[in-house]
């Protein structure tokens, strides 16, 4: 799924300045991910940053109480760790200050580099309600489609078969939603509740009782890869980053009966952690292909000859144990 994401995550047209200056600024999330957004406002060479604004898929949120009066605006976005690898490239060219928790920084250039993150320019488009910055992915969802795609994505992570993630209502999605609600004894209208995405994220973070998940019980970040039998062959996908203490569900298509899992601990620079000269890794006896950076392979033969890495994956029989959690522990 990561491979289909976001050629450019900002969909913004030119702003009609005369109208924009009289109205508040709104952020609209037209992606299938919950996002935490930091906003940068530049006026006469000074930049102020504000955040974090949590915006669910398909949701629009007013982020300035007064009139929008800036020469340029910028955004930085992040997604909850439950999604695994960060889906949004940060390919802007402006570095400004942020903080944990709610913040408003009047001089967003006046902090150490360690407290700065990469922002992208986002010139708002005009709308009947005032200036709007749309956060979008290449699927080009409208608000309703983004909300449904966001529900589908979290259901899949939580172990329910709501594929494909396309923002289109169908019998599989309806069945997955119904099963999710029944499993958690929630009323049918819970799907329309303001906190439904929080409910979904909590379910995806709790791997017990549904599908396949990894949990990182080490003190290091762990990068994990999964293989699944699809169309008669094994498809490998990676990497999924698990912070210390975090659980993650890989995105799986359908209800596979057999999976393959490999993971290795890394330091803050992404280098493999070694114990006695051997990488701290968790796998098995099945050799499949990986590479540095994100990947998806349907051909797992002759890895080295194709310039790829070979890793020994553990085979997992979900037919015998449908609810499986692999916990990475230090020896």
What is the reported pTM?
Answer: 0.66
Cβ within 8 Å of residue 272, ≥6 positions away: 264, 265, 266, 279, 280, 281
| Domain limits, CATH 2.60.40, in the chain | 2-140
Token pair 């290795």 in the structure block, residue: 264
Sign of CA dihedral 297, 303, 309, 313: positive
Q: What is the pLDDT of residues 83-129, one digit of tens each?
A: 865 566 667 789 999 999 999 999 999 999 999 999 999 989 888 88
Residue 17: the pLDDT is 36
Find out whether 205 and 235 touch, Cβ atoms under 8 Å.
Answer: no
Residue whose C-alpha is closest to residue 328's, from 225, 204, 176? 225
So what's the architecture of 2-140 in CATH? Sandwich (2.60)
pLDDT 10s digits, 269-301: 888 999 888 999 999 999 999 999 889 999 999
Reference 255, options 178, 161, 179; nearest CA is 161
HSE-CB at 256 with a 13 A cutoff on CA atoms is 24
pLDDT computed for residue 287 by the predictor: 96
Neighbours of 260 (CB within 10 A): 25
At 162-184, the pLDDT tens digits run 878 899 999 989 998 998 999 88
């Amino acid at each position: 799924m990561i491979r289909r994401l976001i050629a450019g995550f900002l969909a913004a047209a030119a702003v009609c300045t005369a109208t924009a200056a009289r109205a508040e600024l709104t952020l609209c999330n037209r992606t299938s991910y919950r996002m935490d957004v930091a906003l940068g406002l530049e006026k006469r060479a000074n930049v102020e940053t504000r955040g974090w604004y949590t915006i669910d898929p398909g949701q629009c949120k007013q982020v300035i109480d007064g009139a929008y009066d800036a020469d340029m605006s910028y955004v930085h976005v992040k997604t909850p760790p439950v999604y695994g690898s960060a889906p949004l490239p940060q390919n802007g060219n402006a570095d400004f200050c942020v903080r944990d928790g709610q913040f408003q920084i009047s001089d967003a250039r006046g902090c150490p580099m360690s407290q700065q993150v990469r922002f992208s320019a986002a010139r708002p488009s005009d709308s009947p309600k005032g200036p709007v910055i749309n956060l979008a992915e290449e699927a080009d969802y409208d608000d309703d489609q983004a909300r449904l795609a966001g529900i589908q994505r979290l259901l899949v992570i939580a172990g329910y078969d709501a594929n494909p993630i396309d923002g289109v209502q169908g019998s599989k999605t309806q069945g997955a939603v119904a099963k999710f609600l029944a499993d958690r004894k929630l009323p049918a209208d819970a799907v329309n509740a303001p906190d439904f995405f929080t409910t979904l994220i909590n379910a995806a973070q709790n791997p017990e009782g549904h599908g396949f998940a990894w949990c990182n019980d080490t003190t290091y970040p762990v990068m994990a890869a999964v293989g699944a039998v699809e169309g008669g062959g094994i498809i490998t996908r990676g990497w999924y980053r698990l912070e210390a203490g975090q659980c993650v569900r890989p995105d799986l298509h359908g209800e596979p009966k057999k999976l393959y899992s490999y993971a290795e601990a890394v330091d803050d620079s992404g280098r493999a952690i070694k114990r006695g000269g051997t990488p701290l890794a968790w796998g098995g006896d099945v050799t499949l292909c990986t590479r540095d950076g994100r990947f998806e392979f349907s051909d797992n033969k002759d890895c080295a000859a194709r310039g790829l890495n070979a890793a020994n994956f553990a085979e997992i029989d979900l037919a015998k144990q449908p609810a499986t959690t692999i916990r990475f522990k230090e020896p």
